[in-house]
Structure 1
Amino acid sequence: MILKLFFLFTLTINISASSIDILTSYRVNGIDSLQKQLDKELTTKEYWTDFLKNKDTKFGYLESYCNVLACNKEKSKLCIYIKDKNTSKYQLMKEYSAFTGKEKGDKVREGDLKTPIGIYELTQKIAKVDPFYGPLAFVTSYPNVYDQYRHKTGQGIWIHGLPLNQERDEFTKGCIAINNPSIECLDKHIDISKTVLLIDEADVKTDVPKEALAHILSDLYKWRYAWIYNDLEKYLSFYDQSFKRFDGMDIEQFTTYKTRIFNKKEDKTIIFTNINVLPYPDTQNIYKITFKENYKSDSFSFIGDKTLIVKFQNNGISIITER
């Protein structure tokens, strides 16, 4: 307990000029009030602005990813960026020539011969594939939550090699293909659990403004604060009227569902780790937020991955889908 209090005291000194008020609240009301005020500090843009000051936000705010794969379909290239262990900055390591879908534009439906535009995980490495796909392949997470929200169809979007024993066209049915030495090189340099794939028609966005990220992270924690402290009205204010959850629940159904849960007035613990905030390719104001959520109340507990797709406008976020 002494160590916990020392940590909390040190944190308050570092993050807020109002540390005397926080300590007074702790003296009068106990440690629960101190936790609430610290949760409140995490909602401030000032905290996140200071926190991001020396972070590399080339692609956004990334806690989970050591490797970024950026595919420019127009220029037929796939670049690998690796986070330098000493500087924590993402450095371009390799640029591979790449084949993409025969047709231009974003993938919409099965069989349209287009490579999707978006943000994807690498979910699996397949070491033994049909020789047409070269020595190995990486499976992507297409269709992702945002794809499903927009009713896209199709599956089986891979990064793979070239045929071992035959010629092929200079395009794919929607996958990303690179030559076999390149995919073997890629395999040596990435951990798929720590790699994100960004696909755009042109160059992937870089140098994401810290100002926007600070607003988004501040709002993420305002949403969390309302959730923890049972402020239903504030919590629901973060949801867009066009909201539809991954399972099809619309905003009216979601409101009814959350009202029932909030009415229990349960104490909750909600911790976010491995947070990532990335601007969505080929959009003006859509961001993908992912994190590991640790949720615990008297009636329910959950530890797992969470995804929010948000609009960022007027310096605030509006959630349009989540999983």
Structure 2
Amino acid sequence: MKKLLFLLVVSTSLFSGELEELYLKGGISAVQEKIEKNLQSVEYWSDSLKNKELKYGYHDDKSRLIIVADKTAKNISVNQYEDGKLKEVKNSEIITGLMGEKLLEGDLKTPVGVYDITRRFTPPTTYYGPVAFSLSYPNLYDKLRKRTGYGIWIHGYPMEGDVRENELETKGCIAMKNDILESFEDIVQNNSAIVIISEDGKPKSSSLDIAVIFAQLFAWKDAWTKSDLDRYMSFYHNDFRRFDGMKIAEFTQMKKRVFSKNESKIIEFKNFNITPYPNIDGKNIYRVNFDEKYRAASYNFDGDKTLYVEVADNKMKILVEE
């Protein structure tokens, strides 16, 4: 009954008229098939997203702050949703570490990519200012590319001694003046926040890219549900790595064994966050987060799913899966 009510609500809001007729002719399974087909359509998602604020990606979690730092411009902005629109609530100057992509511990470079604020804390010395926020560097994408290092923070200026601003640089962190940091703290507090760090201008996602990602996610889910191995693997990049480092060939064989069981599966995705991922290589990469519900005879899962994907030629290819 719950499934029927859900599909009828969707039909009323998205495809009113057509699906009611389909239900009368083919029942609820025909309605579900039609909805699943529409969700795999780029045209459907392009139409659905046309009035959305997509400058920094698509975010179902409207309470999450989006912080954008530009290493070249030495600028940071804090953005939040207000009445469905993205509003800049803070903009200030910053200093960073060296330019270029962070590769190794001790190279003094500020990483380029997408990270989360993991905690607020008082720094161990006054050199880092009154408060600091740690970032989730290295993320899984960094780790699987053998990027090393740790302790990347957003912090303040030294609170003691003669501070010569034009001589300041960090060891890879992002730093701002202490009075600005305190107002930054007032905004961020304990809110969840995505931090996008770029080196060549602020990243802006494409509405077409977002539509392609949504359509391909649901096509990937459809192939997964039906245990269609060839179609399922077509969504993976040749350079794919799983969270444990498994490469594409081994991953394919593992999925072949799993799919050969031909188990009945229920897979549901919801609560999406799709964020453009800056990179020095000029690739069109996005970090994709969503809640996944998976039900099968041999395995159940409820939790967060993270993908790093590349979009090219209106196709999504999964680079990393966690």
Separation (CA, whole Å) in 2 of partners of 1:265 and 1:127 = 53
Is residue 154 from structure 1 mapped to residue 149 from structure 2 by the alignment? yes
Which residue of 2 is the match for residue 222 of structure 1?
219
TM-superposition CA deviations, 1:232-267 (whole Å, max 9, x none): 211111011111112110011101111111122222
Aligned partners of 1:175, 1:21: CA distance in 2, in Å?
59
Letter in 2 for 1:273: K
* Residue aligning to 2:292: 293
- Superposed CA RMSD in Å reads 2.0
Q: TM-score, normalised by structure 2?
A: 0.91
| Cα shift at 1:171 | 0.5
Aligned to 2:184: 186
- Check the 8 A contact 1:74/1:201 in 2, yes or no: yes
The one-letter code matched in structure 1 to 2:310 is K
TM-score normalised per structure 1: 0.90
1:149 is displaced (CA, Å) by: 2.6
Taking a change above 3 Å as real, the CA distance of residues 201 and 89 of structure 1, as seen in their structure-2 partners, is same
Select the residue among 35, 40, 64 that pairs with 1:38. Answer: 35
Q: Distance in 2 between matches of 1:22 and 1:167?
A: 75
Equivalent-residue separation in structure 1 for 2:26 and 2:66 (angstroms): 43
- Would the aligned equivalents of 2:285 and 2:310 in 1 still touch at CA under 8 Å? yes
Runs of 5+ unmatched residues, structure 2? none
For residues 64 and 145 of structure 1, the distance between their equivalents in structure 2, rounded to whole angstroms, comes to 22
Cα contact 1:292–1:304 (8 A) shared by 2: yes
1:142 CA drift (Å): 0.6
User: How much has 1:5 moved relative to structure 2?
Assistant: 2.9
- Alpha-carbon distance in 1 for matches of 2:200, 2:310: 22
Task: Report percent identity of matched pairs.
Answer: 38
Mapped to 2, the partners of 1:297 and 1:32 lie a distance apart of 19
Q: What's the offset of the Cα at 1:21?
A: 6.1
Work out the CA distance in 1 between the residues paired with 2:156 and 2:218: 42
CA distance in 2, matches of 1:201, 1:133: 23
Aligned residue in 1 for 2:10:
11
When structure 1 is superposed on structure 2, of 131-140 and 266-275 the one drifting more is 266-275
1:244 is matched with which residue?
Answer: 241
Alpha-carbon distance, 1:152 to partner? 0.8
Alignment of 1:170 with 2:168, yes or no, is yes
Aligned residue pairs, count: 315
Distance 1:167 1:32, change over 3 A: farther
1:201-280, aligned counterparts within 5 Å? 201-206=199-204, 208-280=205-277
* 1-structure distance, mates of 2:37, 2:226: 11
1:22 aligns with 2:22: yes
AA of the residue aligned to 1:205: P
Single out whichever of 186-195 and 135-144 deviates more from structure 2.
186-195
Is the 2:65–2:191 contact (alpha carbons within 8 Å) kept by the matching residues of 1? no
Could you say what secondary structure the match of 1:317 adopts?
A: strand
- Distance across 2 between alignment mates of 1:284 and 1:299: 38
